A and B are shown apart, each in its own frame.
Chain A
Amino acid sequence: DSGVTQTPKHLITATGQRVTLRCSPRSGDLSVYWYQQSLDQGLQFLIQYYNGEERAKGNILERFSAQQFPDLHSELNLSSLELGDSALYFCASSVGSGGSETQYFGPGTRLLVL
């Protein structure tokens, strides 16, 4: 158990809908990262938050957004869902946002868009 929790574990929805994925980092960690794992793209970095502020963006679609709240949990919002958004979404956390920091991953949310 990494100490990172994610809910829900599974999510099935329809195209055009909006969903929210939730992540709670390890106790004491200030950075939260979101990654997407799809069959054809592997594990891809989406976005990072550090202590409530956006720190870096990766291959995140404009239909996707995220935030980190004062209690440090984070939510990833996916809207206008398409079939291709079906994937595993992982959250990771680390103590800070400096170099040489290890990220610990949650169990993931499996999203299926029908």
Chain B
Amino acid sequence: DQQVKQNSPSLSVQEGRISILNCDYTNSMFDYFLWYKKYPAEGPTFLISISSIKDKNEDGRFTVFLNKSAKHLSLHIVPSQPGDSAVYFCAASAYGGGATNKLIFGTGTLLAVQP
């Protein structure tokens, strides 16, 4: 059962334009969501996170939006740069009840930013 889904395996965007990466989840107990960027043969790099009590969090060129009613979150990158080309993972955790914040990951979206 895939609790965190990234339905777009890949996305291609022109440099300078907006990149929008999407993520859906099924577990309503998730209360913290994160986006990681990953290059081949490297570990995931933390980008930005959002708590379930918020609907938006912004950090520089990166903004994450959370729609709890739709169980959907998205990552906006504006403007996109060639160095943003990587695999982006959405992850979620549900602390309540388990006293652990283990992450459940989506399958990733490969972003290619064309110069």
Contact = CB atoms under 8 A, between A and B. Distances in A.
Contacts, number: 74
Contact of B46 (A33, A35, A102): A102
A73 B101 CA distance: 19
Chain B interface size, as a band, is 20 to 34
Nearest to A55: B100
A107 B43 contact: yes
A106 B98 CA distance: 25
B85 to A, nearest CB: 19
A98 B100 CA distance: 7
6 contacts: A33-B102, A43-B89, A43-B105, A45-B103, A94-B101, A97-B100
Interface of A: 2, 4, 6, 33, 35, 42-45, 48, 55-56, 58, 90, 92, 94, 97-108, 110
